[in-house]
Structure 1
Amino acid sequence: MAYVITQACCNDASCVEVCPVNCIHPTPDEPQFATTELLYIDPETCIDCGACVDECPVDAISADNELAAEHEPYLKIAADYYERYPIGPDWPELRERRKIPAELGTLRVAIVGSGPAACYAAMELTSRPRVEVDIFDRLPTPYGLVRAGVAPDHKSTKAVGDLFRSAIGHKNTQCYFDVEVGTHISHDELLAHHHAVIYAVGAAGDRHLDVPGEELPGSHAATEFVSWYNGHPDYADRQFDLSGECAVIIGNGNVALDVARALVMDPEIFARTDMADHAVEALRNSNIREVVIVGRRGPAQAAYTNPELLALGQLRGIDVIVDPAEVELDPASRALLDDPDCEPRIALKVEQAEGFARRTPTEGNKRIVLRYLASPVEINGDGKVESITLERNELVEVDGRLEARPTGERETIETGLVLRSIGYRGTPLADLPFDERRGVIPNKEGRVVDPQTGEPLTGVYTAGWIKRGPSGVIGTNKQCSAQTVERLIDDFVAGRLATPAEDREKLATLVAERRPGFVDYSGWQRIDKQERSRGAAAGKARQKFVSVAEMLEASRLES
């Protein structure tokens, strides 16, 4: 018997660290780790010890003889990976972490943000002796996109929040929730109270299509829709027109697939999740029966991952529709697939799309239509969205890259709802440099740098999407944050960090004066307990509070 990693894989590589025979790859030190969709266990090397199962934070690992039917394709996916990358003696061993000499005293670090990158950084720091961490977040609740971005039906992925509890609840961690850096406390004040500050604020903005009609009512960012159905307090009062039968999503990454599922799945499934009640009720009254997902390039270049696409095709009562003509590969894409060095994940994307194209639709089913080689050129309507015009693309090889070029062939799709899902984008922070082109804080391996000189700014670091851009999955942030923490500790050990002018008690006094009633860890526990209790009464894991006022009230109620 061997173990198999399935769709829920979060890529945080915690399983890699505990495997006694180095049979889980790619490791963070391998180049494939940067682009992998999930990790893979080599069935020939696995010794059936179960260490990885115990360590996995999202329950993504199963014994091969206990796989559910829908997970059986992952046996072949793992086999294909090891055929492409056979295990050998030259595979890298895990690196040891640098230790902090006791004579240097206590290292004090502020972390701005409480999402995955922030929590992984806090875990990395608090796992070492003589480190104190203060976490700041503008919302009363932690976990960022784990709480407000993960699809409600991906319960195993949301379970990573239980892992993060060890970081924010650590005895050496102090939480300052409902405290906004730049408003209630400044960047300079954080530096005065800490050796270093890590900014792990994610990428809250979104990218625009820049086509006529994009600002019409009925045209939204998919990120807003996701935050709405997940109960984010900034978006709980948004309205989306679900009165038509067709919705169009521009972009074909995993977020697009999440949104498509939300629009066509049975709302009663979501009623048993932590989806916000207002969203469940709106979806119950929705008329949408078809979602068209539009990608500007072909199936070989699609941004979604194979596990998400595989799961899409297993939804009951929903057909996945692909036009056979749109999966006919251009010569350059076909050459890519025929290349012996082609990544197996690329070939699998094409194989799955071709499989959908061969399926016969079932009468009466709702539909998710995957469109390739098309881009929006205009959103049309008189006072609101009524249709969208797409233009057919062709792929052209330019300097070794495939670019989508318009052909002039156009079509119009009637719709009252257009959601753009073309990527998140970081936004500038007060008193910090910002790279407008990339939407990130300029940095070198997590050290924030002066954009003019390229020199590191003393004591200032970054991690997560605001560091590298919106790439990877939740677990990708673990290695990203670990790199930042390693650079921070290197600087501390080398004496490059200034000693804090103020102590921890003065920080607590300052915050309490500026933001009376801020939410600490105990306050979050009270919110969490009440949400779970409300959920249990409704037959689900959690029923969220969706306004800041409700959250603050709950944080003060003693059980």
Structure 2
Amino acid sequence: MSPCCNWMWGLSRRLVLSGRCQLSARHNVDVHRSFSSVPHPPRVCVVGSGPAGFYTAQHLLKHHTEVLVDIYEKLPVPFGLVRFGVAPDHPEVKNVINTFTQTAQSERCGFFGNVTIGNDVTVEELQAAYHAVVLSYGAEDKRELGIPGEDLPGVYAARDFVGWYNGLPYNRHLNPDLSSDTAIILGQGNVALDVARILLSPIELLKKTDITQCALDALIQSHVRRVLLIGRRGPLQVAFTIKELREMLHLPGTRPRLDPNDYQGLGDITKDLPRPRKRLTELLVKSALEEPTEKDATRWSVAEREWSLRFFRSPIEILPSKDGNKAAGVRLSVTRIEGTGDNSIAVPTGQVEDVSGGLVLSSIGYKSIPISQAVPFLPKQGVIPNSMGRVKESPGLYCSGWVKRGPVGVITTTMSDGFETAQAILEDMKSGNLNCSESRPGAAAIQKLLSLKQIQPISFSDWEKIDAVETARGLEIGKPREKILDPQEMLSVVSN
């Protein structure tokens, strides 16, 4: 978000919420009830309410009977990538929200939405108020392609495209151009397959999900009928998982176009691969080289949409249309592999190839950004330097999730990662490396700072009001929810 947008968003937060200050006494002094049996219970705050933040808080609360945990989130709504990153047609993945809700409703847990750490409150101010601070704010930025034409209209980061159809406020005005019949996705990970699936899915299926109405309306008018997924390495290095591949192979109204030449000889290699990679490669080989079942053959013969995988290609330029006003294709460098397995690298051969398509989506990964000059950060890796979640040379400061290890893995990976960081905090409390003997004011101190700036944090019960409105709106049109896209409207719901 640009500084201008940050300023305007901050203004709207203050204007809408200024009338609530007298109504929100539950936020003042201390959100935690007076139940603790110790005079100075350990106070921990978590920055970020995505899976990493909630799993860290969950483990702390479960394994320490006195600890008080506060979760801070810059948006008025919780759950991070579970709400804004998980594909709308994967509702089962979002069931973890039930567990996170139980954590947030604990009398030893406080939730403070609508608070931007690094702007409204500094990390140093959190460190003065809490015994431990955990940074779990994820990967908020996208990786750039760094090639000519990247800024042409029609070129989008997959991260922004996902945010658009999932209702991330920052992406609600994206308005992608879907007038081309061919979409080119640069990347072959799960996000790339999610985007391809959403572009090609029958509208009747999407109507039953929590995809935003603006995205649904745009997809109804979409001309995209073909999706090409480009990878710089080969079939043995694709980053998507077998679940996502199966979904693409069985997507109604859509057929795969897999070049048999790409998979010749791979069958002999699979026996030595790790099991997940082995099963994935076997499915790719089977789909490309074996005759389809009668059912699949019939389904694919009448399919009006298709997708394909193109290997050993790396983008070197986005090609403009004749008038130069938008993207019309991608120039690709033909590559070859050096090394083996996941450690292999793609090197250019000197050959180039052009592919046509008016919609280009870059799915080459997310990246974290530094939150404060007081927090060490490795810009090349996009992570906070740490050991088991302990931020190096920063006693009392911890990290978990993507900002800790990089933007890789699924939600279960993040769960283990959050538990590891929480365990490090518990061990430091027990050993005395984390001094919890002196009293810390916790949320009471932060509330005073926010009050001076006329910023009223959003509690979890406030979020439940937003949740109820979204669910009701969805019910009216046969969807599980219709997300509110404008943060100011979210705050209006809370203030009513």
Question: Do Structure 1 and Structure 2 share a fold, with TM-score over 0.5?
Answer: yes
Write out per-residue CA displacement over residues 316-364 of structure 1, whole angstroms, 9 at most, x where no aligned residue.
11101111112235xxx7775343xx21222222222223324565244
Write out per-residue CA displacement over residues 263-319 of structure 1, whole angstroms, 9 at most, x where no aligned residue.
011123212211111100000000000000111111111100111111211111110
Q: SS of the residue aligned with 1:551?
A: helix
Question: What residue in structure 2 maps to residue 545 of structure 1?
Answer: 484
The one-letter amino acid paired with 1:352 is: L
Q: SS of the residue aligned with 2:170?
A: coil
Counterpart of 1:355 (choices 278, 286, 302) is 286
Q: Provide the rounded CA distance (Å) in 1 between the counterparts of 2:287 and 2:495.
A: 52
The one-letter amino acid paired with 1:152 is: P
How many residues of Structure 1 are paired with residues of Structure 2 in the alignment?
Answer: 446
Question: What residue in structure 2 maps to residue 426 of structure 1?
Answer: 368
Matches within 5 A, 1:123-522: 123-127=58-62, 128-329=64-265, 336-339=269-272, 342-358=273-289, 359=292, 361-381=300-320, 382-397=324-339, 401-430=343-372, 431-449=374-392, 456-498=393-435, 499-522=438-461
Q: Which runs of 5+ in 1 are unaligned?
A: 1-100, 450-455
Write out per-residue CA displacement over residues 418-445 of structure 1, whole angstroms, 9 at most, x where no aligned residue.
1111111111111211101110011110
Q: Provide the rounded CA distance (Å) in 2 between the counterparts of 1:503 and 1:394.
A: 55
Kept in 1, the 8 Å contact 2:329–2:356? The answer is yes
CA-CA distance at 1:105 after TM superposition: 4.7
Q: Provide the rounded CA distance (Å) in 2 between the counterparts of 1:302 and 1:190.
A: 41
**Larger proportion of helix:** 2
Q: Provide the rounded CA distance (Å) in 1 between the counterparts of 2:360 and 2:332.
A: 12
Kept in 2, the 8 Å contact 1:434–1:440? The answer is yes
Q: Provide the rounded CA distance (Å) in 1 between the counterparts of 2:275 and 2:215.
A: 38
Kept in 1, the 8 Å contact 2:167–2:485? The answer is yes
Kept in 2, the 8 Å contact 1:298–1:327? The answer is no
Q: Provide the rounded CA distance (Å) in 2 between the counterparts of 1:281 and 1:400.
A: 40
Q: SS of the residue aligned with 2:478?
A: coil
Kept in 1, the 8 Å contact 2:388–2:421? The answer is yes
Q: Provide the rounded CA distance (Å) in 1 between the counterparts of 2:303 and 2:254.
A: 9
Kept in 2, the 8 Å contact 1:300–1:347? The answer is no
Q: Provide the rounded CA distance (Å) in 1 between the counterparts of 2:126 and 2:355.
A: 52
Q: Provide the rounded CA distance (Å) in 1 between the counterparts of 2:341 and 2:51.
A: 36
The one-letter amino acid paired with 2:102 is: S
Q: Provide the rounded CA distance (Å) in 1 between the counterparts of 2:99 and 2:363.
A: 29
The one-letter amino acid paired with 2:79 is: Y
Q: SS of the residue aligned with 2:395?
A: strand
**Are the structure 2 counterparts of residues 350 and 398 from structure 1 closer, same or farther at C-alpha, using a change threshold of 3 Å?**
closer
Kept in 2, the 8 Å contact 1:138–1:179? The answer is yes
Question: What residue in structure 1 maps to residue 47 of structure 2?
Answer: 112
Q: SS of the residue aligned with 2:330?
A: strand
Kept in 2, the 8 Å contact 1:120–1:482? The answer is yes
Kept in 1, the 8 Å contact 2:210–2:481? The answer is yes
Q: Provide the rounded CA distance (Å) in 2 between the counterparts of 1:240 and 1:485.
A: 40
**Are the structure 2 counterparts of residues 378 and 328 from structure 1 closer, same or farther at C-alpha, using a change threshold of 3 Å?**
farther
Q: TM-score, normalised by structure 2?
A: 0.86
Write out per-residue CA displacement over residues 137-165 of structure 1, whole angstroms, 9 at most, x where no aligned residue.
11000000000000000010011111110
**Are the structure 2 counterparts of residues 502 and 416 from structure 1 closer, same or farther at C-alpha, using a change threshold of 3 Å?**
same
Kept in 2, the 8 Å contact 1:321–1:370? The answer is yes
Q: Provide the rounded CA distance (Å) in 1 between the counterparts of 2:53 and 2:340.
A: 39
CA-CA distance at 1:399 after TM superposition: 11
CA-CA distance at 1:103 after TM superposition: 6.7
Q: Provide the rounded CA distance (Å) in 2 between the counterparts of 1:471 and 1:399.
A: 17
**Are the structure 2 counterparts of residues 429 and 504 from structure 1 closer, same or farther at C-alpha, using a change threshold of 3 Å?**
closer
Kept in 2, the 8 Å contact 1:394–1:404? The answer is yes
**Are the structure 2 counterparts of residues 107 and 336 from structure 1 closer, same or farther at C-alpha, using a change threshold of 3 Å?**
farther
Q: SS of the residue aligned with 2:339?
A: strand
Matches within 5 A, 1:57-96: none
Kept in 2, the 8 Å contact 1:264–1:289? The answer is yes
Kept in 2, the 8 Å contact 1:388–1:413? The answer is yes
Q: SS of the residue aligned with 2:344?
A: strand
The one-letter amino acid paired with 2:420 is: Q
The one-letter amino acid paired with 2:202 is: D
Write out per-residue CA displacement over residues 93-112 of structure 1, whole angstroms, 9 at most, x where no aligned residue.
xxxxxxxx987951100100
CA-CA distance at 1:504 after TM superposition: 4.2
**Are the structure 2 counterparts of residues 160 and 503 from structure 1 closer, same or farther at C-alpha, using a change threshold of 3 Å?**
closer
Q: SS of the residue aligned with 1:147?
A: helix
Q: Provide the rounded CA distance (Å) in 2 between the counterparts of 1:153 and 1:285.
A: 19
The one-letter amino acid paired with 1:458 is: P
Which stretch of structure 1 is more off in the superposition, 241-250 or 160-169?
160-169
Q: Provide the rounded CA distance (Å) in 2 between the counterparts of 1:104 and 1:126.
A: 18
The one-letter amino acid paired with 2:453 is: R
CA-CA distance at 1:501 after TM superposition: 4.5
Kept in 1, the 8 Å contact 2:366–2:407? The answer is yes
The one-letter amino acid paired with 1:202 is: G
- RMSD value, Cα: 2.0
Write out per-residue CA displacement over residues 439-473 of structure 1, whole angstroms, 9 at most, x where no aligned residue.
00111100001xxxxxx311100000000001110
Q: SS of the residue aligned with 2:384?
A: coil
Kept in 2, the 8 Å contact 1:299–1:349? The answer is no
Kept in 1, the 8 Å contact 2:131–2:434? The answer is yes
Q: Provide the rounded CA distance (Å) in 2 between the counterparts of 1:425 and 1:299.
A: 25
**Are the structure 2 counterparts of residues 490 and 105 from structure 1 closer, same or farther at C-alpha, using a change threshold of 3 Å?**
farther
Q: Which runs of 5+ in 2 are unaligned?
A: 1-35
**Are the structure 2 counterparts of residues 177 and 337 from structure 1 closer, same or farther at C-alpha, using a change threshold of 3 Å?**
same
The one-letter amino acid paired with 2:401 is: G
Q: Provide the rounded CA distance (Å) in 2 between the counterparts of 1:521 and 1:542.
A: 18
